[in-house]
Amino acid sequence: MASSSGETTSKIGPTQYSYEELANATGHFSNRYFLGEGGYGQVFWGSLDGKTRAIKKLRCLPDDEKTKQKMMLEIKIANRVRHPNVAHLVGYCIEANNALLVLEYFPKKSLKYNLHEEFLDWQKRMQIAKGVAKGLEYLHESCDPRIIHLDIKPDNILMDNNFKPKITDFGLALYFPDNVTHLSKSNNEGTKVYMDPEQQKNFLISQIFILLVWCFLS
């Protein structure tokens, strides 16, 4: 199932990279290329196919076929996501017990990184809040299948050069339930997560409210 960086696999969709390719692009995951670390793993930048990319090195996953197939399904679903306020999955690597995702690179980093900067005025904060709301509405209502993102926080909202927000890390909480308060979930039938019906009804509103608090009170 191996393929080079210039090939795409019809079975999955995004570009399939080898572990060696991603290791070489990041100086073998050296501190020089290090961008940050979260509950899911470490993020590095690297040059792939002539473009700067963010490479997320996930925590080691169990080396069994069932887990691999579930991860492959999530990758296939994530590749179908297309929205101006949702980060695009560029590629992936699953070899042995290594799992890596290749994403768009955003030099302005995360909302968390920028929240306390003076240049993030009220107009930009409202733009960010509206953009994330649009991205969540797409994931929850218009995406096929629907994807429920239950780990929205400033770390998971990236900024492009114009401070347009990009939601990321949807689907990853499925594999790292000990590191987050809630789980995000997607599947090929669009089944909703198991939660209280009232919470399900008001979920998008509550996430937007929390985001507004972050943007305007931080």
Burial (CB count within 10 angstroms: exposed 0-12, middle 13-18, buried 19+), residue 194: exposed
Would you please indicate which residues are annotated as catalytic (active-site) residues? Answer: 151
